[in-house]
Chains A and B, each alone.
Chain A
């Protein structure tokens, strides 16, 4: 500890640039008639996502001592607004993900999340590209759609969407070679996640925006599933990469309440198998979907990372006033 430790991670100059970017983002959405909303950071439901760990706390409420969850994204609340007839909405909110800390991660960070009822995935991808250009204040040389399976066949000559024991063995072998990890018991998704993060991701978004589409159906999270042009069942979602950094995650949103309920249950089975706590189903979200949420697409974008790229910084700490280490 030194006497300089009270100082912010971002310079005052960076904070000015950051504020200007936040203003441009709000202007972007106001110009497109997308309503700014604010939903709770602290909610009764946590995220069931197998690979997200929510922070929780006990609060004294009128109903007595209650376990409340810091939101990993404003998704559930925003979907309830959509079901209530909000129309297109956006939010700049603080979200929390336990255990995520590093050069590009901070447990607490700023998420830009927006929903476009009636939009097809391609329309939302175009809007994401428009927003990124607005924030960077410069045009993107190109926006490319990259199919998940083709990234793997290009890099490893393996198609992870063609289920077979040989495919799994090949993926484990590649994962072991690239990571020095013992991958003998790893699942296909474990291997794919690793190869995506360590090998493919750094090559993406190098001369324009790369948008990865047609994810394995097992990685659908809260996206619809559909058939790709080869007839394989895939997740109707996309991820956006710029300069080797993953910026955003978009879904053709699941609107089927029963399917949603089934996915919550499946998440919890996987959580149990991994020794993680079960997260109780957000019944209010299920009820909202039952009452009817308009079909459409939504996307979440890590604002701190986009600011890192806009200001050519290498470390998330340098664009935040006080990252975890400094707060």
Chain B
């Protein structure tokens, strides 16, 4: 991989830091009146999801990370690994472990396309689409009456996710959910 100098650090650049691939979030140039210039860099560790703040002397370099975001369709879970398939017609499959899937497991539905982040060809994270349509498998019976007040109740979706839904939603309905906030958007 190529090396990148601090002045090339831009949002989205993938670099290696302390052995982990990281995504550069922010890069701020700071310099005292007379003296060494620095770059204050915010990076997201792609393995842990944690954000790091590091400062480099301007001109220091980091090695690039072989990281790719690829669209893949979710196939199935074999009890240990989650299996995905590329959507480019190659039928190439990748297996992601629990660490890579993380919280996204509650939004995994067959045939939906997810963004899989590969590092050296291994899945390290799975990002769901912003909105997903899922069926309600369990919720208290719908209540008649004052829906304008916006009361809500818990509902379990087909993927196992629990979300708050309006009182008028019934079991068996398909809902549009925002995966970023985990909130109900509308009936699908």
Contact = CB atoms under 8 A, between A and B. Distances in A.
Chain A partners chain B:
yes
Interface of A: 49, 51, 99-103, 105, 179-181, 189-190, 192-194, 196-198, 201, 219, 221, 239, 246, 248-249
Contact of A197 (B32, B52, B59): B32
B40 A198 contact: yes
Question: Which secondary structure dominates chain A's binding surface?
Answer: mixed
Contacts of A181: 54-56
Contacts of B56: 181
Nearest to A190: B36
Interface in B145-180: none
Given A51-B31, A105-B31, A201-B32, A100 B37 contact: yes
Given A99-B58, A103-B29, A179-B54, 14 more contacts: A49-B34, A51-B31, A51-B35, A99-B59, A101-B29, A102-B28, A103-B28, A189-B35, A193-B35, A193-B36, A194-B55, A198-B30, A219-B34, A249-B33
Contacts, number: 68
B30 A102 contact: yes
27 contacts: A51-B34, A51-B35, A51-B36, A99-B37, A100-B29, A102-B29, A105-B31, A179-B38, A180-B53, A180-B54, A180-B55, A181-B55, A181-B56, A189-B36, A192-B35, A193-B32, A194-B36, A196-B32, A197-B31, A198-B30, A219-B34, A219-B35, A221-B34, A239-B32, A239-B33, A246-B33, A249-B34
B52 A99 contact: no
A101 B30 CA distance: 9
Contacts of A196: 32, 35
A179 B30 CA distance: 12
A243 B55 CA distance: 22
Contacts of B31: 51, 100, 105, 197
Contacts of A100: 29, 31, 37
A101 B9 CA distance: 12
A219 B59 CA distance: 21
Nearest to A247: B33
Contacts of B33: 239, 246, 248-249
B57 interface: yes
B48 interface: no
Contact of B57 (A103, A190, A249): A190
Contact of A194 (B28, B34, B38, B52): B38
Contacts of A179: 38, 40, 53-55
A153 B53 CA distance: 25
A43 to B, nearest CB: 20
A189 B33 CA distance: 13
B34 A197 contact: no
B87 interface: no
Interface in B1-54: 7, 28-38, 40, 52-54
Given A179-B54, A180-B54, A197 B38 contact: yes
A51 B40 CA distance: 17
A51 B32 CA distance: 10
B38 A180 contact: no
A239 B35 CA distance: 12
Contacts of B55: 179-181, 194, 198
Contacts of B59: 99
Contacts of B54: 179-181
Contacts of B7: 99, 101
Nearest to B7: A99
Nearest to A180: B54
Nearest to A196: B32
Nearest to A49: B34
A246 B29 contact: no
A105 B29 contact: yes
Question: Which 6 pairs across A and B sit closest by C-beta, in order of nearness?
Answer: A102-B29, A179-B55, A193-B35, A193-B36, A180-B54, A249-B33
B29 to A, nearest CB: 3
Contact of A246 (B32, B38, B40, B57): B32
A70 B146 CA distance: 73
